[in-house]
Amino acid sequence: MLAFVAGVGGGSFFDISQKMVLIIAIIAVSLAAVFYRRGSKILSFPVAFSAFLVLVFTVGVLRFDASEFLAKVLTNFNDTRINVRLLGYINDEPQKLTDKQRLVLRVKEIEVPGYAVFTDEKVLLTANLYPEFEYGDLISVEGKLQGPKNFTAIPQRAAGFAEPSTRNDFDYVNYLAKDDIFSLVYFPKIEGIKRNDFLRPKEISIFENFKISLFKNVFKAKRAFKESIERIIAEPNAALINGILLGSRENIPQNLKEAFNKTGTTHILAISGYNITILGLYITSLLLFFMRRQIAFWFTVSGIILFTILTGASASVVRAAIMGILILLAYREGRFYDMTNSIVFAGSAMIALNPRILRFDVGFQLSFLATLGLIYLAPILRDKLKKIPEFFNFRENFIATLSAQIMVLPIILYNFGSFSLVSLPANVLILPAVPITMFFGFLSGISGLIWPPLGEILGLAAWLLAEYEILVVKIFSSIL
């Protein structure tokens, strides 16, 4: 798996021709055959295994190359004066900003003067805030396609699209390409359409219909839960709780977002492996009261998968979900759980599905480096920092935060150009409160849907915890 990842990395950073890859593969196989037939037994296995790794490396290179040569119809109309009509459906949860919204359209048909072409590509739409759209809505879009440009922007969150900033070295083209987006449309004419407007040969598949139906229901439940939190908990605390539970940040005031950025605690507002771990423990503990462990396993796995969908399936969440499911599987089968094998498997699976994330998804890089810090660096620091007091689990939180911060520091400096000096103490003070906030936030949200008075009582505890976290962030941000 590491050889495969190295191959994808080599293909993404260097221009390795397919001819060169083929030559390397032939040489590797030839050397292995010669040494295996004529060499000593001591030498034959290492050479054969090395040849196998080289072959897997070449597969990684070819996998990245294959992702670069996907059939693209829409790009032929980028930056032209041709007005196109796109038929498709909303393929992601709409992202609402202050004065506009962004929609990812899965295009099934493109119409230009004189003819129509069936396709299956994605386009990023920037539209007015109203009318509102939902995941799965069938729409018709009329406008001009544009190719993305590398302009003054950096990614503001791991799972979102870039927002303007002061930097001018962000590779926006590849940032969108990792999500298979190669065309943009700004403020087009958008109309809802009916299924009959799709031509029969390219009608949405059965699998896509199932996916749309599932995701619609999941996002509908998410919206109801968010509204329940907003009804029973005052802002901006409600927005913070929704951020911790669901990764939703659109209602958080700009000045509070900036305070989280300054203190290096923005990751609290985005779902991470930490949240997935807590969720898995909560679900398993609850289900074991009502059913056998074997049955509880499948319900817990289903819950983690639905939660991953609900929060937008960012790289950190997918990575944590895979590793969490592997932990549950190990316990179910009575096997030992190996963190190294688990994180390599998770990373390899994600890269195999989307090879561009290795180089161009900062969230993917930060998530894996932070986890590697917890696996390898934390035990070393634990031996060196034995004098730190253990009250309220302070030492463990300090070591975990420090190990993760050290590992992600190079990526943060390279991509964002700065690092918060108060990040360590701010995280140490806030992180212990996050699981309790999630617990009371979840209970208050569910109770608010069933019996609002109970939700308000439980919401008071969630409000107090969120108030504490906001206070810590504001105090440390004022220092800078």
pLDDT at 7: 93
Mean pLDDT rounded to a whole number for the chain: 82
pLDDT at 35: 67
User: Which of residues 299 and 225 earns the better pLDDT score?
Assistant: 225
pLDDT at 127: 93
pLDDT at 85: 92
The CATH label, of 1.10.287, 1.10.286, 2.40.50, 3.40.50, for the domain at 74-204 is 2.40.50
pLDDT at 158: 38
Q: Where are the domains of the chain?
A: 2-68, 74-204, 218-479
Q: In degrees rounded to 5, what are phi and psi of residue 127? A: -130, 170
> In the Cβ-directed half-sphere of 322, how many Cα atoms lie within 13 Å?
20
Within a 10 A sphere around the Cβ of 230, how many other Cβ atoms? 17
Judged by DSSP in three states, 111 sits in strand
Q: What residues have CB less than 8 Å from 39, skipping those under 6 apart?
A: 47
Please state, for a pLDDT cut of 70, what percent of the chain lies above it: 88
The answer to whether the beta carbons of residues 272 and 312 sit under 8 Å apart is no
Look at residues 435, 431, 476, 460 and name the one whose alpha carbon lies nearest to residue 238: 460
pLDDT at 431: 82
First to last CA, the chain: 43
Tell me, rounded to whole angstroms, the distance of Cα 357 from its chain centroid.
10
pLDDT tens digits along 117-166 = 888 889 999 999 888 898 888 999 999 999 988 765 444 443 344 443 44
pLDDT at 366: 84
pLDDT at 47: 75
What is the rounded radius of gyration, in angstroms, for the C-alpha atoms of the chain?
25
pLDDT tens digits along 356-393 = 889 888 888 888 888 888 889 988 988 888 887 777 67
pLDDT at 44: 67
pLDDT at 156: 44
Q: What residues have CB less than 8 Å from 434, skipping those under 6 apart?
A: 244, 268, 274, 275, 278, 469
pLDDT tens digits along 310-330 = 777 777 778 878 887 887 788
pLDDT tens digits along 385-435 = 888 777 767 788 788 888 888 888 888 888 776 777 888 888 888 888 888
pLDDT tens digits along 18-54 = 788 888 888 887 877 776 655 555 556 777 788 888 8
Q: Which of 37-46, 71-80, 83-92 has the highest mean pLDDT?
A: 83-92
Instruction: Tell me the pTM.
Output: 0.78
pLDDT tens digits along 274-304 = 667 666 776 777 777 777 777 878 888 888 8
Segment 209-226 mean pLDDT:
87
pLDDT at 166: 40
Sign of the dihedral defined by the CA atoms of residues 384, 389, 393, 398, in that order: negative
Of the listed ranges 21-30, 74-83, 200-209, 315-324, the one predicted with least confidence: 200-209
